[in-house]
Amino acid sequence: MTTLTDAGRDGAAREIERPRLTWRQRLSRADVKYSPYVYVAPFFVLFALVGLFPLLYTFVVSLNDWDLLKGQGDWVGFDNYVTELQDPWFWNSIGNTFSIFVLSAVPQLIAATFIAAVLDQNLRAKTFWRLSVLLPYVVTPAAVALIFSSIFSEDYGLVNNLLGSLGLDPVLWKHDTLPGHLAIATMVNWRWTGYNALILLAAMQAVPRDVYESAALDGAGAFRRFFSITLPSIRPTFIFVLITATIGGLQIFTEPKLFDATNATPGGAYHQYETTTLYIWNMAFNQDRFGRAAAIAFLLLLIIVAIGLVNYVLSKGIASSEVKVARDRTRRRLERHRDRQLAGAVASTSAPTSAPTSGEPRS
């Protein structure tokens, strides 16, 4: 009760300073205060429905011995997680995922950077070339997978025919592990290189041209300009491209699923290119083990979060080192300036009272 009276008194005290608000004023005040939340609400409501709820539901499923056809079974706690962490097929899928990720992301980003650099030059029919590199991105992944599956067919495929005409042995793209990973990485690269190139190109366009001009005047060649100006300037965009490529790379599904579509085992006869997302699908829809599939989905989530954190730390490190470099440079310049002033002062008064204190080497 005391607090209420206190508050009342407090309110009364304020009322003396400010006149009582009309209904309309209060409404407009509420508008300013609460409307923004209403405006952002649709996203959060939608997210709660299609993002958060499935996430939590998956977690509940993962704690049960849930069968696809028969529904919820017994409560098993974290048993599904323990089983999966001990299952060699789980680790097989993790290995495949990372192998395909590395085989696709690394060449893809290197190629994208160089394509972007070429497109950044003064070409004729600029728009034509820029649109051309985006063309593979327009094709649906299923169609890409079917076409590449045919190209990499072991008996009648284009690639093996070419190898044969060169007198080389055919490669077992669909039965051997590394060739399979390479073939799938090729599909991923074909689809995403142009897309990444365009994003990097946009970043390159933002680099001031006069920097290049003065570098050229100072005698820097094309390669020197690329490595010393272009690359450092597009670093933030590059980090963005790297992160999106990582997230996409850990969720590759369509390409390995359709690479050997007639095979009964998803991800190759020996699961040799079964990625983790494909493993989840197989567990849920071929083996009917919904609970375990949900547990794998959660483990994959943890892995992606972990990689996200590593990315965050790395990019933060790069960003702060950039700031540090700039700060050091400013400090050095200031010190140099101060030194010169000091030296001038010393010369004029010829009284060497204080030596430069900084131990910073000059550069």
Partner 1 sequence: MRLSRRLTATAALATASAVVLAGCSTGGDTGSSDEPITLTITTFGTMGLDDLYAQYEADHPNITIKATNIDTGGNALTDWKTKQASGGLPDIQAVEEGWLGSVMEVSDTFTDLRDYGADDIKDRWVDWKVAQATDPNGRIIGYGTDIGPEGLCYNGKLFEAAGLPSDRDSVAELFGGTDATWDKFFEVGEQYHAATGKAFYDQSGFVWNAFVNQQPEGYYKKDGSLNVEGNDTLKNFWLQLADAQSKGLSANSAQWDWGKGQSFVDGTFATFMCPGWMLGVVKGNTEAGGGDASTGWDFADVFPGGYANWGGSFLTVPSTSAHPKEAAELAAWLTDTQQEVAAFQAAGTFPSVKAAQTDPGVTGQSDLTAFFNDAPVGEILGSRASGVTAQFKGPDDALIQEQVFGPARTALDAGTADGETTWNQAIDLLHQLVG
Name residue 266's amino acid: P
25 vs 263, which CB is nearer to partner 1? 263
Q: How many CA atoms lie within 13 A of 273 on its CB side?
A: 28
Name residue 5's amino acid: T
**CA separation for the pair 54, 56 (Å, rounded):** 6
> Nearest Cα to 121, choosing from 212, 48, 36, 11?
212
Q: By CB under 8 A, is residue 257 in contact with partner 1?
A: no
- Looking at residue 361, the DSSP 8-state letter turns out to be P
Q: By CB under 8 A, is residue 253 in contact with partner 1?
A: no
Q: By CB under 8 A, is residue 271 in contact with partner 1?
A: yes
Cα angle vertex 251, ends 273, 77, to 5°?
95
CB of 200 to partner 1, least distance (A): 39
Q: Which of 103, 260, 275, 291 binds partner 1 (CB under 8 A)?
A: 260
Q: Which of 13, 16, 38, 69 binds partner 1 (CB under 8 A)?
A: 69
CB of 265 to partner 1, least distance (A): 5
**CA distances (Å), origin 239, targets 142, 149, 199:** 28, 32, 11
Q: How many CA atoms lie within 13 A of 49 on its CB side?
A: 5
Instruction: Say how many residues touch partner 1, by CB under 8 A.
Output: 26
Q: By CB under 8 A, is residue 72 in contact with partner 1?
A: no
**CA separation for the pair 81, 87 (Å, rounded):** 10
CB of 282 to partner 1, least distance (A): 8
Record the tokens describing residue 79, joined without a space.
């048993």
68 vs 231, which CB is nearer to partner 1? 68
263 vs 341, which CB is nearer to partner 1? 263
Q: By CB under 8 A, is residue 302 in contact with partner 1?
A: no
Q: Which of 49, 269, 301, 313 binds partner 1 (CB under 8 A)?
A: 269
Contact 164, 170 (CB under 8 A): yes
**CA separation for the pair 154, 135 (Å, rounded):** 27
CB of 321 to partner 1, least distance (A): 48
Record the tokens describing residue 327, joined without a space.
């700060």
State whether residue 173 is helix, strand or coil: coil
What residues from 144 to 183 belong to the interface with partner 1 (CB under 8 A)?
150, 153-156, 172, 174-175
CB of 285 to partner 1, least distance (A): 5
Q: Which of 65, 79, 87, 335 binds partner 1 (CB under 8 A)?
A: 87
CB of 50 to partner 1, least distance (A): 15
Q: By CB under 8 A, is residue 286 in contact with partner 1?
A: yes
Q: Which of 21, 285, 308, 324 binds partner 1 (CB under 8 A)?
A: 285
CB of 275 to partner 1, least distance (A): 17
> Nearest Cα to 65, choosing from 54, 55, 76?
76
Q: By CB under 8 A, is residue 288 in contact with partner 1?
A: yes
Neighbour-count burial of 146, counting CB atoms closer than 10 A to its CB (0-12 exposed, 13-18 middle, 19+ buried): middle
Q: Which residues bind partner 1 (CB under 8 A)?
A: 68-70, 87, 89, 150, 153-156, 172, 174-175, 260, 262-265, 269-271, 285-288, 290
